[in-house]
């Protein structure tokens, strides 16, 4: 869609108003990152490609209190965004054990979220998320050292299956939860199979169990999205880390392949339930009422109930996207009525599965992804802590200011009177406000005030997914998001001052 000159100028003026929420002008001291640059493209430790190994070692070996300054100095001399992205991801994959696939491992999980934030930012801001990701890596690296100092070892070459046996060897190992065999088999696949084939295989394993509250699907989506920008030549160590993460079963002593454990039951049931989905399920019609039906099912139902509701709606000719709309609203309502880590992951998990569903080709896998998203949403509920309005019952409230000043008013309310801010978001958007400007302001405040990997993961997911949702429902989805976004009155994070100091050197 073309943008008129008037719209372009208007957005430019509005962006200036958004920028006033927090001062990031010091980033201009770094090298320019345009959209094309940000987008596509030891004996006991696995070695990486020779071109990237020195930069990865710099990240690994430079003390936390100096790494920002060292990387900033190299960026000023021509180090590219893509190189920094690749090195940060590879350093995390090589040094942080994905068991559990959460906690300190968020330094790896968050890298693609930081990258997405970079892609969606003005050119002048694009370096900040990457510097933040480097800082997170160093903190998690230190935690990993305290917990045993895991490092990814070289692969046992004699165990790597040949190309014609790699796929079967991998699926056998994954089905049997055999880490040693799966590690060797994924190397065989990485060296001989294509990215799309491997993505198709892995996505099924990302939703087969609810251990680690959705992080497995999140890691798959984030890994492949980052590899699109980094280059497939870096895939092998990342796929090894991903495979190990998918086999995380916490402290369970039983092998899930030989037991009937709660975390595995929705997948096993849905392997049969997908047969009830009609042949023309992708040809359904959008239906806002059906989205609300799905929202209600997620509020009250079990994993079985929500899967069955989705099948019922599909058989009534409802488009899958309308059901996803209901899932997104349900996830947003959890964040609004029961804020915390569990509800937050309902958003990031749904975002990951939606991305995977859009990109896989296998019909059975698409059906499984769809039903597993429905089945898992009730598992994120914490009924004991739920309070406040429901997302579809929020009363719109027009901001007292108009135009660009309305955004300033909304973000000033977040943290001080967040329920009012949520109502004002609906009033602003339903009154013709620009959701893209809301998104720009929210993202910029994460740059300046975010302190946790979840700030980036959550905001990147929300600010991507609202674009798929019809406008009237999207306004409520974004309204719910303010319960986990940053307000303009929150204090800046300390990283901002470190970068300022590094650039002043």
C-alpha span between 422 and 395 (Å, rounded) = 9
Rounded Cα distance, 441 and 437, in Å: 6
Low-confidence winner among 86-100, 111-125, 294-308 (lowest mean pLDDT): 111-125
- Quick check: 15 pLDDT over 60? no
Instruction: Provide the token pair at 62.
Output: 């430079």
Per-position DSSP letters for 381-404, written without gaps between them: --GGG--S--GGGPPP---SS-TH
For 440, residues 6+ apart whose C-beta sits below 8 A from its C-beta are 15, 18
CB 461 within 8 A of CB 351: yes
What's residue 10's pLDDT? 47
- What average pLDDT is seen over the chain? 91
- pLDDT tens sequence across 23-73: 666 666 566 666 555 554 444 778 898 999 999 999 999 999 999 999 999
pLDDT of 3 higher than 50: no
Report d(CA 41, CA 34) in Å as an integer.
Answer: 13
Is the pLDDT at 4 greater than 80? The verdict is no
pLDDT the model gives residue 8 = 38
Give the pLDDT score at 43. Answer: 46
Who contacts 461 (Cβ-Cβ below 8 Å, separation ≥6)? 113, 347, 348, 350, 351, 352
Q: Where are the domains of the chain?
A: 16-146, 157-246, 262-385, 391-484
pLDDT value at residue 1: 43
Percent of the chain with pLDDT over 90: 80
Across 249-256, average pLDDT: 93
Decide which of 102 and 16 is more confident. 102
Strand partners, 285: 318
Rounded mean pLDDT, 447-465: 93
Which of 119 and 434 is assigned the larger pLDDT?
434
Mean pLDDT over 445-470 rounds to 93
Give the number of other Cβ atoms within 10 Å of residue 486's Cβ. 26
Place of tokens 């480097």: 134
- Give me the pLDDT at residue 20, please: 61
User: Could you read off the pLDDT of 272-290 as tens digits, one per residue?
Assistant: 999 999 999 999 999 999 9
318 phi, psi to nearest 5 deg: -80, 140
Beta bridge mates, 318: 285
Range 370-374 average pLDDT:
98
Check residue 49 and give its pLDDT: 87
Tokens found for residue 294: 């799905």
Residue with tokens 């674009």: 467
- Looking at residue 121, its pLDDT comes to 77
The predicted pLDDT at position 16 comes to 56
Rounded mean pLDDT of 446-466? 93
User: Rounded distance, CA 160 to CA 466, Å?
Assistant: 43
User: What pLDDT score does 41 carry?
Assistant: 42
| Total length of the chain | 505
Q: Which helix (H) or strand (E) holds 183?
A: helix 179-192
The Cβ-side half-sphere exposure at 217, using a 13 Å CA radius, reads: 27
pLDDT of 217 strictly over 70: yes
Distance CA 221, CA 109 (A): 10
pTM here?
0.91
Cα angle 392, 397, 401 (rounded to 5 degrees) comes to 145
Identify which has the larger pLDDT, 93 or 117. Answer: 93
Block residue for tokens 């930012």: 121
Q: For the purposes of burial, counting CB atoms within 10 Å of the CB of 15, is it exposed (0-12), middle (13-18) or buried (19 or more)?
A: middle
């Amino acid at each position: 869609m073309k943008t008129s000159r008037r719209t372009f100028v208007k957005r430019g003026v509005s962006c200036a108003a958004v920028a006033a929420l927090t001062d990031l002008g010091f980033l201009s001291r770094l090298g320019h990152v345009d959209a094309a640059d940000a987008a596509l493209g030891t004996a006991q430790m696995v070695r990486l490609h020779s071109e990237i190994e020195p930069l990865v070692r710099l990240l690994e070996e430079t003390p936390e209190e100096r790494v920002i300054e060292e990387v900033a100095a190299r960026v000023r001399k021509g180090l590219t965004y893509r190189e920094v992205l690749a090195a940060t991801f590879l350093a995390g994959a090589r040094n942080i054990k994905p068991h559990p696939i959460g906690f300190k491992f968020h330094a790896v999980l968050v890298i693609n979220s930081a990258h997405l934030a970079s892609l969606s930012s003005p050119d002048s801001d694009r370096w900040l998320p990457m510097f933040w990701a480097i800082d997170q890596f160093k903190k998690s690296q230190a935690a990993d050292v305290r917990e045993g100092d895991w490092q990814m070892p070289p692969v046992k070459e004699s165990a790597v299956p040949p190309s014609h046996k790699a796929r079967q060897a991998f699926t056998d190992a994954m089905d049997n939860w055999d880490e040693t065999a799966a590690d060797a088999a994924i190397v065989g696949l990485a060296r001989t199979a294509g990215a799309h084939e491997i993505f198709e295989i892995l996505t099924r394993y990302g939703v087969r169990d609810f251990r680690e509250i959705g992080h497995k699907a999140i890691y798959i989506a984030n890994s492949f999205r980052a590899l699109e920008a980094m280059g497939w030549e870096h895939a092998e160590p990342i796929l090894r880390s991903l495979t190990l993460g998918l086999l995380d079963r916490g402290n369970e002593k039983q092998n899930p392949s030989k037991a009937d454990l709660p975390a595995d039951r929705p997948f096993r049931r849905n392997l049969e339930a997908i047969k009830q989905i009609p042949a023309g399920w992708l040809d359904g019609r959008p239906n806002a009422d059906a989205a609300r039906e799905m929202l209600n099912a997620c509020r009250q139902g079990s994993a079985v109930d929500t899967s069955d509701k989705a099948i019922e709606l599909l058989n009534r000719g409802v488009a899958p996207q309308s059901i996803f709309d209901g899932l997104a609203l349900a996830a947003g309502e959890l964040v609004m009525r029961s804020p915390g880590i569990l509800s937050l992951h309902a958003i990031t998990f749904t975002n990951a599965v939606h991305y995977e569903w859009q990109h896989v080709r296998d019909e059975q896998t698409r059906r499984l992804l769809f039903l597993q998203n429905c089945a898992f949403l009730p598992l994120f509920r914490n009924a004991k802590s739920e309070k406040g309005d429901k997302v579809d019952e929020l009363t719109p409230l027009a901001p007292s200011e108009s135009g660009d000043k309305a955004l300033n008013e909304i973000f000033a309310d977040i943290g001080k009177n967040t329920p009012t801010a949520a109502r004002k978001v609906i009033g602003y958007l339903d009154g013709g406000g620009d959701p893209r400007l809301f998104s720009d302001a929210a993202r910029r405040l994460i740059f300046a005030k975010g302190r946790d990997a979840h700030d980036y993961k959550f905001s990147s997911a929300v600010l991507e997914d609202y674009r798929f949702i019809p406008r009237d429902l999207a306004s409520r989805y974004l309204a719910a998001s303010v319960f986990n976004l940053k307000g303009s009155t929150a204090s800046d994070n300390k990283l901002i001052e470190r970068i300022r100091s590094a650039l002043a050197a």
